[in-house]
């Protein structure tokens, strides 16, 4: 009897031991599966997640958290959990929390290429470009083929006007991921900065072929096509962009430019207005609306559009020049003079603004300063005959026939077929 009890107890103990071992194995296996799935999320290829904002960081974090709850509590798993949390916070725009979490991840993982690349991205989004570059270089020193570090370096060098380095990074990425449209689009931008316009267009075109949903590539292709005069093709590219992203203001602006080029004034006006609506702080669509109004001799509407543009961005001398010209056309000489002076304050060598200032001064009766302005405008742009034509007009007002003839001769040196000068001499 006692022997039977002992045997039963032994069997029961074995069952409990094997049950516990089986449960432990099951939990360990589940934790391993979760960890591998989380790592696959974090290491998503560029074809799946070309931008880090498209990495499923939240899903990776929750999988790692569950793995730790199941007993997988090693330093690497903890480090990856904090890394995934940091990435999730970057995607949410919370850079301070992201930086803190990445610091914890660094404590567990060490200075890996993964950690350096994300630190560089955080620094870039905080506009600390020097730190971002240091982190990108550190990542690539550890892993020369790390795609996130190469993408970071490409973005930094494109933004920093270093197209040669950007192209080198993007060429490396194109070899590692030749099918990725985002890489090809950025490569086109680098080639464009290097003034290799044909190669840039080819890269943009290939980007659209690899992913027809990449609206940025369509916009860039449209710009290049318009740049070489293929207006209908450019318009088609902008329409493709709008099919994919109907709310993109750059696509609407590009369509507006091609509509204007093709003489479709009403459609251009609608496209520019839509671009202005979608990007209310962007001056370019408003300036384009002003140009359309001015070409239609609607000076009041042009002035209103230019003033709205300058309310958003007043640092551009060309915008002040446009306003000055419109005000001059409306006979608002005081306003025109102020606008031209604002343009010259921002760009003292802008010949057209100096010429416009001279014209307002002349019509206001200040002939001495007007002459100085015209002479300076003529010096600033050795090809433009207009300041010299104005000098001739000024000389006639003064009754100085010799000075008038001299000015017209100088006009013909710049423009031998100038009808006004030929008629006056």
What CA–CA distance (Å, rounded) separates 318 from 351?
11
Using 50, 70 and 90 to split pLDDT, how confident is the model at 59?
A: very high
Query: pLDDT-derived band of residue 3, with 50, 70 and 90 as boundaries?
Result: low
% pLDDT > 70, the chain: 94
Q: Is the pLDDT of residue 268 over 90?
A: yes
Give the per-residue pLDDT at 130. Answer: 95
187-225, pLDDT tens digit by residue? 999 999 999 999 999 999 999 999 999 999 999 999 999
pLDDT at 14 over 50: no
Residue 105's contacts (CB-CB under 8 Å, 6 or more residues apart) are 79, 80, 81, 82, 83, 85, 86, 115
Nearest to 160 by CA among 188, 133, 199, 196: 133
- 181: which 2 tokens? 């449209």
Q: What is the pLDDT of residue 318?
A: 96
C-alpha span between 187 and 207 (Å, rounded): 9
The whole-angstrom separation of Cα 59 and Cα 174 is: 28
Alpha-carbon span 252 to 229, nearest angstrom: 19
Task: Note the pLDDT of residue 190.
Answer: 97
- pTM of the shown model: 0.83
Under the banding of pLDDT at 50, 70 and 90, the label for residue 21 is: very low
15: left (phi over 0), alpha (psi -120 to 50) or beta: alpha
pLDDT given at position 19: 47
pLDDT in tens, 76-104: 999 999 999 999 999 999 999 999 999 99
**Encoding tokens for residue 64?**
């790692």
Q: How many CA atoms lie within 13 A of 290 on its CB side?
A: 25
- In 3D space, the residue among 95, 146, 42 whose CA is nearest the CA of residue 135 turns out to be 146
Provide the 8-state DSSP code for 54: G
Range 237-251 average pLDDT: 97
The string of pLDDT tens digits covering residues 331-369 is 999 999 999 999 999 999 999 999 999 999 999 999 999
Task: Return d(Cα 59, Cα 43) in angstroms, integer.
Answer: 13
Residue 16's pLDDT is 46
Whole-number pLDDT of residue 148: 96
Buried-exposed string 212-227: b where 16+ CB fall within 10 A, e elsewhere? eebbbbbbbbbbbbbe
Residue 94 CA to its chain's centroid (Å):
22
How many CB atoms neighbour CB 99 within 10 A?
Answer: 17
DSSP-derived 3-state class of residue 313? coil
3-state percent breakdown (helix, strand, coil) of the chain, nearest 5 = 80, 0, 20
Under the banding of pLDDT at 50, 70 and 90, the label for residue 4 is low
The per-residue pLDDT for range 24-33, each reduced to its tens digit, is: 556 678 888 9
Instruction: Output the average pLDDT for the chain.
Output: 92
List pLDDT tens digits, range 280-318: 999 999 999 999 999 999 999 999 999 999 999 999 999
DSSP for 108-148, please give it. HH-S-HHHHHHHHHHHHHTT-HHHHHHHHHHHHHH-TT-HH
d(CA 291, CA 392): 29
User: Could you tell me the two tokens for 89?
Assistant: 């916070």
Predicted confidence at residue 7, as pLDDT, reads 55
pLDDT bucket at 228, cuts 50 / 70 / 90: very high
Q: What pLDDT does 27 receive? A: 63
Q: What angle do CA 306, 307, 309 make, to 5 degrees?
A: 65
Task: Evaluate whether 390 touches 359 at the Cβ level (below 8 Å).
Answer: yes
Extract the runs of DSSP E, i.e. beta strands, from 50-198: none
**Is the pLDDT at 43 greater than 90, yes or no?**
yes
- Looking at the predicted structure, is the pLDDT value of residue 12 above 90? no
- Could you tell me which of 88, 140, 131, 84 has the C-alpha nearest to residue 111? 140
How high is the pLDDT of residue 29?
A: 84
Percent of the chain at pLDDT exceeding 90: 88
């Amino acid at each position: 009897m006692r022997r039977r009890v002992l045997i039963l107890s032994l069997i029961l103990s074995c069952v409990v031991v094997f049950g516990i071992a089986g449960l432990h194995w099951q939990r360990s296996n589940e934790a391993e599966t979760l960890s591998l799935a989380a790592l696959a999320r974090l290491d998503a290829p560029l074809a799946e997640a070309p931008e880090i904002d498209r990495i499923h960081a939240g899903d990776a974090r929750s999988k790692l958290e569950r793995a730790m709850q199941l007993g997988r509590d090693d330093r690497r798993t903890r480090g990856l959990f904090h890394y995934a949390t940091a990435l999730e916070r970057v995607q949410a725009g919370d850079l301070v929390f992201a930086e803190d979490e990445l610091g914890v991840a660094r404590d567990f993982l060490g200075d890996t290429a993964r950690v350096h690349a994300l630190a560089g991205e955080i620094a870039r989004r905080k506009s600390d470009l020097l730190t971002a570059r240091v982190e990108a270089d550190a990542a690539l020193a550890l892993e020369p083929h790390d795609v996130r570090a190469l993408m970071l370096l490409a973005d930094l060098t494109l933004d920093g006007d270093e197209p040669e380095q950007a192209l080198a990074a993007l060429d490396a990425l194109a070899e590692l991921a030749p099918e990725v449209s985002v890489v090809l689009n950025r490569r086109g931008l680098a080639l464009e900065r290097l003034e290799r316009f044909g190669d840039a267009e080819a890269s943009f075109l290939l980007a659209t072929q690899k992913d027809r949903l990449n609206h940025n590539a369509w916009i860039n292709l449209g710009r290049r096509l318009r740049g070489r005069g293929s207006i209908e093709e450019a318009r088609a590219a902008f329409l493709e962009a709008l099919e994919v992203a109907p709310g993109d203001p750059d696509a609407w602006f590009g369509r507006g430019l091609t509509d204007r080029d093709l003489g479709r004034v009403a459609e251009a006006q609608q496209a520019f207005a839509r671009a202005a609506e979608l990007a209310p702080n962007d001056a370019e669509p408003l300036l384009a609306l002003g140009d359309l109004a001015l070409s239609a001799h609607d000076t009041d509407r042009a002035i209103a559009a230019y003033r709205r543009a300058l309310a958003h961005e007043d640092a551009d001398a060309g915008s002040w020049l446009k306003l000055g010209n419109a005000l001059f056309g409306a006979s608002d000489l005081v306003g025109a003079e102020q606008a031209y002076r604002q343009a010259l304050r921002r760009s003292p060598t802008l010949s057209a603004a100096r010429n416009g200032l001279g014209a307002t001064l002349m019509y206001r009766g200040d002939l001495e300063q007007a002459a100085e302005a015209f002479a300076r405008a003529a010096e600033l742009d050795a090809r433009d005959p207009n300041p010299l034509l104005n000098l001739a007009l000024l000389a006639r007002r003064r009754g100085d026939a010799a000075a008038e003839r001299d000015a017209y001769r100088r006009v013909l040196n710049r423009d031998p077929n100038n009808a006004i000068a030929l008629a006056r001499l």
